[in-house]
Structure 1
């Protein structure tokens, strides 16, 4: 097994995508520390791994505080003797438009996603460096962090920030042989289950049936298991040369997101004053970049009525 003898922490792994990541890491031979805020959910996740011969223990605590990060790393070391892999998946949503978003809505999402990723990676990386372990840091991003999404100021900020941190960590941890990558999953989740556009795909997934090819191929939208294989690969020794990357995965598709680069570069003697832009502002207006996700129309056979329609 590719991860035999490795030890992994997966935050937010009681259910959904996080659970799929933990289960795949265990299937590949890793011992896993499960994390969730609900004790019963965490216990069920552990049982789903141990019942098939895998190794797993749980830490029931919210990510964000440094104390939780320390507890996660200490549990891995106390239970299995080391730590090789960290997957930072824990997250919450507080969606609403900018003018209705409260301080609490913003702070809650930033604390769990952004601060939670920072504190757990800091603790794990410190342990790996001190013990000369060429570890693997895998942080979970989102298409929202790459392109924006209506009603998700807090989530977009957190996910964009995570990718920015990953690029910095790849530089800082390179000498220690520790890789840091971001994975951008596109899969059926509790969030996508509420979106009518994805209804046919979610419906098939819930029935245990293959998703229509339109979703898997054209949209790169699939199941949690489709993402989990990439997580396990990035956690392996085979991926030692891959670091600082943002990797999109969903359905039958995998992507390597480009780092932000200038789309257009032009010069104006003396600089770009207000007057210069007023006279020759086409450098901006003719080169506007797209924002948000744009989906093609659903084929007629995959359309479903909106809830309540």
Structure 2
């Protein structure tokens, strides 16, 4: 993958998945703007990229505001002359069940994930359209946004909203040759280390032990680096015809998420009364109800 002469912004790229994305883009030749809320973390990430022969600079700040989004775009242009790729990865967690979630818990997560994605994409799309040479926008979703997750009203809602915005932006920016896609990663990060089901696999990686095939294939789980290749692919020329998609990645698994579709349909002349629905429901809809949450497979083997 050759991304030479391309310039990328990766939000929340001081560590974890964001750093993996930034390093992979740099390895493919892109100049990268690293972003983190902590200056030391951002500088360390830049150093790790330049030590490998890549080009990078840092813009410190919390995403969410229009001002931070514009500083990121201006930082890319000032340092490297242009902007070709945006990866919106920055995120936080404030997990609580709905009856315990405060307004602040909700607003903080929505501000970083959803508003931060919106403001950064708006600023980047404006710059890319002005350049007139197309571009690549890659927004980071989550399985929680696709299926929901206990205790994550704010996070699930934001991630679902991001994928909805991606589909809209793919339509709006098509004439400008700007593709917009969502990546739905699963990886060992600070956000997943507390998930009880994944703890044995996280512990194994911390101990430099190989992950079993079940984790890497059935769960699609591995280190952040496993999820970075799809970002570089979507940023490249080979993906010029890919837009409006949600692509799952992690471990040894690469997957395409479907868009929501009507799965069962019935018709009733004159519209549907409650009694008519009650009569029809058991025959047409009852067996087609969707599951909620991740349906994790049982581990059949550790090999």
TM superposition score normalised by structure 1: 0.95
In structure 1, the partner of 2:166 is 166
User: What per-residue deviation string (whole Å, max 9, x for no partner) do you get for residues 91-112 of structure 1?
Assistant: 0000000111100000000000
Are 1:141 and 1:185, in contact at CA under 8 Å, matched by a contact in 2? yes
User: What per-residue deviation string (whole Å, max 9, x for no partner) do you get for residues 127-182 of structure 1?
Assistant: 00011021000000000000000000000110000000000000000001000000
In structure 2, the partner of 1:147 is 147
In the aligned structure 1, how far is the partner of 2:197 from the partner of 2:163? 27
Are 1:197 and 1:298, in contact at CA under 8 Å, matched by a contact in 2? no
User: What per-residue deviation string (whole Å, max 9, x for no partner) do you get for residues 243-285 of structure 1?
Assistant: 0000001111111111100001111111111121133222332
Are 2:11 and 2:87, in contact at CA under 8 Å, matched by a contact in 1? yes
State whether structure 2 residue 296 is matched by structure 1 residue 295: yes
Q: Work out the number of aligned pairs and report it.
A: 302
Are 1:110 and 1:154, in contact at CA under 8 Å, matched by a contact in 2? yes
In the aligned structure 2, how far is the partner of 1:177 from the partner of 1:50? 30
In the aligned structure 2, how far is the partner of 1:216 from the partner of 1:267? 44
Are 2:212 and 2:302, in contact at CA under 8 Å, matched by a contact in 1? no
In the aligned structure 1, how far is the partner of 2:289 from the partner of 2:203? 37
How far did residue 299 of structure 1 move?
5.0
In structure 1, the partner of 2:184 is 184
User: What per-residue deviation string (whole Å, max 9, x for no partner) do you get for residues 34-72 of structure 1?
Assistant: 000001101100100011211111011000000000000
Counterparts of residues 1-309 of structure 1 (less than 5 Å)? 2-282=2-282, 283-298=284-299
Unmatched 5+ stretches in structure 2: none
In the aligned structure 1, how far is the partner of 2:300 from the partner of 2:203? 16
How far did residue 234 of structure 1 move?
0.4
Larger mean Cα displacement after TM superposition, 100-109 or 272-281: 272-281
In the aligned structure 2, how far is the partner of 1:281 from the partner of 1:49? 57
SS of structure 2 residue aligned to 1:90:
coil
Runs of at least 4 residues off by over 4 Å: 299-302
Larger mean Cα displacement after TM superposition, 208-217 or 62-71: 208-217
SS of structure 2 residue aligned to 1:280:
helix
In the aligned structure 2, how far is the partner of 1:129 from the partner of 1:48? 32
In the aligned structure 1, how far is the partner of 2:72 from the partner of 2:134? 19
How far did residue 300 of structure 1 move?
7.7
In structure 2, the partner of 1:305 is none
In the aligned structure 2, how far is the partner of 1:265 from the partner of 1:300? 40
Are 2:138 and 2:182, in contact at CA under 8 Å, matched by a contact in 1? yes
In the aligned structure 1, how far is the partner of 2:271 from the partner of 2:288? 19
In the aligned structure 2, how far is the partner of 1:301 from the partner of 1:195? 19
Unmatched 5+ stretches in structure 1: 303-309
User: RMSD value over aligned CA atoms?
Assistant: 1.3
